[in-house]
Structure 1
Amino acid sequence: MTDPSRTGSNRARPPDSPLPARDVAPASGGFAVVEMFTSQGCSSCPPAEEVLTEIERDARKQGQPVFALGFHVDYWDDLGWPDRFADGAYTARQQAYARAFGSGHLYTPQMVVNGTVEFVGSDRRRAATAIASALTAVATTPLTLSVEDAAGGTGDGRVVVDYQTARPPERAVLNVAIVERGLESEVARGENAGRTLRQDNVVRAFTSLGLDTGRGRVELEAPADLDPRQASVVGYVQHDGDKAIVGAAAIDVSAEAE
């Protein structure tokens, strides 16, 4: 159950304009997984979230394999505003990147592209350069996804995803996330007090598993208030050691949910 003190006034907003459906699994060309670590309590984060929205929206329109994920960290929660999308697991994910990059510190907004390049998330030019470079690389581990069951929004929050891949590297993990677009939050306290934040690509559920077989099934516990029409599943194969991402795919939940 969601703690009411963490919800503020949150609601879904109607999409600004219809976007093309997403079912993208690059066979051999490049791709870009764009992870951003953010918080509703951080006044520097809303501009970066606008950049993330633009990245995903442009990729859909152009049919590019660019996948955006907004991980809300929880270390801002004690500084005036508890972010209802925050999760300690997402903070732990950012800490793992800090160790891999050798930086030893956390900050928001931080953007990470394909697990190997990091920079301030509001830097549009740096983001465009990193994504363009990623799209010229070769995907070494093809991945396809299919949504077999999607009960988000009906109370039990279950989303079942089948995956198939080939040539996974040793010590590879498969990350699977449910991201939701079209969210609004009225923030009452903290650095963003009085603002209505419009957020897309918010990670609502996430899991990682060791990839020791070429196919399998993943079940995610999505929140009961997930709107399947505004949600996608993003999967990506990642080295457990250096964090390089070697394959990715995404599919909208809506087709199964309808």
Structure 2
Amino acid sequence: MTDASSTGANRARLPDSPPRARDVAPPNGGFAVVEMFTSQGCSSCPPAEEVLTEIERDARTRGQPVFALGFHVDYWDDLGWPDRFADAAYTARQEAYARTFGSGRLYTPQMVVNGTVEFVGSDRRRAASAIASALTSATTTPLTLSLQDHAGGTGAGRRVVLDYETERPPARAVLNVAIVERGLESDVARGENAGRRLRQDNVVRAFASLGVEAGRGQVELEAPPDLDPRQATVVGYLQNDGDKAIVAAAAVDLSAVAG
């Protein structure tokens, strides 16, 4: 585990067939949004990313509403290896959690479940416990996503447009929408993981947050040109802007419309 404050790192700057939703448990049941803050420059992170892969794979097999997201932070980039998936916005998201948790501390790998429970991301036992607890907690805020447009091919201009619908969103609710991709590989030449080929799943490739004032609306994401839609999922989750508690989640696989 590495604490950013102890490394001295500094941030550089703060379809033919209809798409299908993830086949999960009924909407009145619990769910778990599992966010992990990680970096290719951190030697403690690959084991935690294996845990995240197992969490997502097991949830798919069991049809459980568990949604895994790997946010690559950028404060490791000046320490030997620039992570190609890192974004200052993801570091800012981790900072917001640190303020809410009252720790003021950043570290990798950090796992956060439903915006309220945090722990070291490689801790399988803590992860299993937090997810099990989340799945047994009923939700009263339904959320549905439907894919309206997904530009095919490669190159600039790839976009993903979704409609969302919810009921009884909390005041000051924020809808987070992420495109996550599985099966990515990177050869790391420098830094703590020098000489390793890292295979990473559930990597956040695009992310947007917007305020929710009405029960329905639309959101558009600009996807990276190298995104493989056959390995990609769009995850949406509704979150309190104050205490960061996540109150609803849903997902749509882009593979359903991949050509």
User: Residue type matched to 1:233 in 2?
Assistant: V
Uncovered stretches (5+) of structure 1, i.e. residues with no partner: 1-19
Runs of at least 5 residues in structure 2 that lack an aligned partner in the other structure: 1-19
The change in CA–CA distance for 1:196 and 1:232 in structure 2 (over 3 A counts) is same
Instruction: After TM superposition, give the deviation of residue 257 of structure 1 in Å.
Output: 3.0
CA contact (8 A) 1:23 1:251 kept: no
Q: For residue 168 of structure 1, what is the aligned residue in structure 2?
A: 169
State the 1:165 CA deviation: 0.7
Which residue of the partner structure matches residue 212 of structure 2? 211
- The match for 1:190 is 191
Quickly say closer, same or farther: Cα 1:153–1:200, change in 2 above 3 A: farther
Tell me: CA distance 1:238–1:42, structure 2 relative to 1, closer, same or farther (3 Å). same
Paired amino acid for 2:179: I
Residue 74 (str. 1) matches residue 77 (str. 2): no
Q: Which residue does 1:202 correspond to in 2? A: 203
How far residue 45 of structure 1 moved from its aligned partner, in angstroms, is 0.1
* Counterpart residue type for residue 62 of structure 2: Q
Task: State the TM-score, normalizing by the size of structure 1.
Answer: 0.90
**Whole-Å separation in 2 of the counterparts to 1:173 and 1:257:** 29
| 1:49 equivalent in structure 2 | 49
Q: Secondary structure at the match of 2:250?
A: strand
Structure 2: distance between partners of 1:21 and 1:161: 12
Q: Deviations over 1:81-134 (max 9, x none)?
A: 000100000000000000000000100000000000000000000000000000
- 1:17 alignment partner in structure 2: none
1:91-170 map, 5 Å: 91-151=91-151, 153-155=153-155, 156-170=157-171
1:178 aligns with 2:179: yes
Q: Secondary structure of 1:78's partner?
A: helix
Displacement of 1:162 in angstroms is: 1.0
Spell out, residue by residue over 1:139-189, the C-alpha distance to the aligned partner (whole angstroms, 9 max, x if none).
121101111111265222201111111110001000000000000000000
Q: TM-score, normalised by structure 2?
A: 0.90
Contact 1:25–1:250 (CA under 8 A) maintained in structure 2? no
Alignment length, in residue pairs? 239
- Give 1:11's aligned residue: none
Distance change >3 Å, CA 106–CA 113, structure 1 → 2: same
Cα separation, 1, equivalents of 2:180 and 2:153: 14
The answer for the alignment partner of 2:9 in structure 1 is none
Cα offset, 1:256, TM superposition: 2.5
Deviations 1:171-227 (A, max 9, x none): 100000000000000000000000000000000000000000111111001100000
- Larger mean Cα displacement after TM superposition, 218-227 or 139-148: 139-148
Is the alpha carbon distance of 1:91 and 1:26 closer, same or farther for their aligned partners in structure 2, counting shifts above 3 Å? Answer: farther
CA distance in 2, matches of 1:23, 1:142: 15
1:15-34 to structure 2, matched below 5 A, reads 22-24=22-24, 26-34=26-34
